[in-house]
Structure 1
Amino acid sequence: MQSLRHSFKDQTMLFIFVGVLFLVGVIFGALMVNALSLEQQQDLARYLGNYFVTVDQGSSEIEQVTYWNIALLHLKWVGLIWICGLSVIGLPGILILDFLKGVLIGFTVGYLVGQFSWKGLLFALVSVAPHNLLVIPVLVLCSVAAISFSLHIIKNRVLMHRHGNLTRPFANYVMLTVVMGALMLGIASFETWVTPAMMRWVTPMLIQ
């Protein structure tokens, strides 16, 4: 437990860096909304209109399919970050994935607020915010672990030309990723069955 606390303390700067990268992505995504053409805004508005109607009606069969789609999407993010952490050249890929995740969240929230004003903000608070408050810390942990492992390879294999044993660091890296993947499955359950219930409280205001 003490070694775990020391590990977190040593990686504080990495946590801050990845967190700031997410935040920059969110801001960039929100600003991207202003770059949409009128035609793109109309297409998105039509898509959202259909989506609101689907959410308002609800369906258990749709929810079952949705769970696995959401779970696989989250696991892909974790898996891609894990793969990028296995090599030196994958290090920029981790940063790009973190930035893109922030952009997606920022764009979604920015568009909802820009299109529906306070109603869009309310919808974002029940549809985007709850599960992402869980997803983002998981991805930050995965990213910091991936960056740390990648830097460990650079330090020991590239810069210092050592051929030390990577078994223990690799085992820890795999174990953390598996735990984070399991957490993502739980988050997918929340996103599939809890989030739509909250969304159904708000959608009637948006389809009036």
Structure 2
Amino acid sequence: MPKGKNQLTVHLTQYHTIYIFTIILFLTGIIFGALIVNSMSFIQKQDLLFYLERFFQSYLVDDLISHKALFKQSITYHIQYLALLFFLGLSVIGLPIIWILVFIKGMVIGFTVGFFVNQLGWQGLLLSFSAIAPQNLIVIPVYILASSFAMIFSLTLIQSMMSKRYKRPILKTFYHYIAIFSILVVGVCLASLFEAIISYESMRVIANRVFN
């Protein structure tokens, strides 16, 4: 345990700037997404709200989607997203794309929460918490870690190409990289389970009250 703690301390000391950068980039995306809501016209907001009402009434209120199907869709999406980050980390030129993905992920969450609150008030806040919060309590840390590790590995590859002394341990680092992403896959599986059961059921209850 002390050895593990020491390795974690060394890792955080060495790469803390990357983690901070990733978190700030994600938070910036959230703020930007919320600002987009305020820049939308009244007609655009009403059109989007109309489509959202139809979605909630069709798929949630009328119960046209099963827990199993929702879980399958969710886990497929999350694994594909992690796989994309994984392979971008293997590429030196993937760094800017990782930054864009982190920013977009934050922007989507910021826009969704901002739009619900802007249009539905406190009910929109409840709907946001029921639809977004349960799974994202796991998904957001997982994506931040995945993005950070992908950036770290990509930077390690750059060091490997620039200096011969980094070529030897790169294989060990790659094994660690695979192990970390394997653990993160378990995390998104749990998040998908939350989304398919907890988020879905709580969202159905609130959607029934809001849109009926």
TM-score, normalised to structure 1, is: 0.92
What is the aligned length? 206
Is the CA contact (8 Å cut-off) linking 1:30 and 1:107 kept in structure 2? Answer: yes
User: Which sections of structure 1, spanning at least 5 residues, go unmatched?
Assistant: none
Is the CA contact (8 Å cut-off) linking 1:52 and 1:206 kept in structure 2? Answer: no
Q: For 1:99 and 1:47, how far apart are their aligned partners in 2? A: 25
The yes-or-no answer on 1:164 pairing with 2:171 is no
Match among 70, 76, 93 for residue 72 of structure 1: 76
The yes-or-no answer on 1:202 pairing with 2:209 is no
* Deviations, residues 32-61 of structure 1 (Å, cap 9, x unaligned): 1123344432332122112222313335x5
* Deviations, residues 152-174 of structure 1 (Å, cap 9, x unaligned): 1112213x355612210001001
Paired letter, 1:184: V
Q: For 2:202 and 2:29, how far apart are their aligned partners in 1? A: 26
Match among 68, 93, 107 for residue 97 of structure 2: 93
Is the CA contact (8 Å cut-off) linking 2:134 and 2:198 kept in structure 1? Answer: no
Match among 125, 129, 135 for residue 131 of structure 1: 135
Match among 24, 30, 54 for residue 26 of structure 1: 30
Q: Match of 2:55? A: 51
Match among 160, 181, 184 for residue 180 of structure 1: 184
Q: For 1:193 and 1:205, how far apart are their aligned partners in 2? A: 19
Paired letter, 1:113: V
- Matched residues, percent identical? 35
User: Which sections of structure 2, spanning at least 5 residues, go unmatched?
Assistant: none
Deviates more, 1:7-16 or 1:109-118: 7-16
Q: For 2:71 and 2:155, how far apart are their aligned partners in 1? A: 35
Q: CA RMSD in A?
A: 1.7
Is the CA contact (8 Å cut-off) linking 2:92 and 2:157 kept in structure 1? Answer: yes
* Deviations, residues 116-165 of structure 1 (Å, cap 9, x unaligned): 1111011111111221121010011111111111111112213x355612
Match among 108, 111, 123 for residue 107 of structure 1: 111
Is the CA contact (8 Å cut-off) linking 2:123 and 2:210 kept in structure 1? Answer: yes
Q: For 1:56 and 1:8, how far apart are their aligned partners in 2? A: 46
Q: For 1:129 and 1:110, how far apart are their aligned partners in 2? A: 14
Q: For 1:121 and 1:93, how far apart are their aligned partners in 2? A: 31
Q: For 2:165 and 2:41, how far apart are their aligned partners in 1? A: 54
In structure 2, the CA distance between the partners of 1:163 and 1:122, relative to structure 1 (3 Å rule), is closer
Q: For 1:132 and 1:121, how far apart are their aligned partners in 2? A: 15
Is the CA contact (8 Å cut-off) linking 1:18 and 1:144 kept in structure 2? Answer: yes
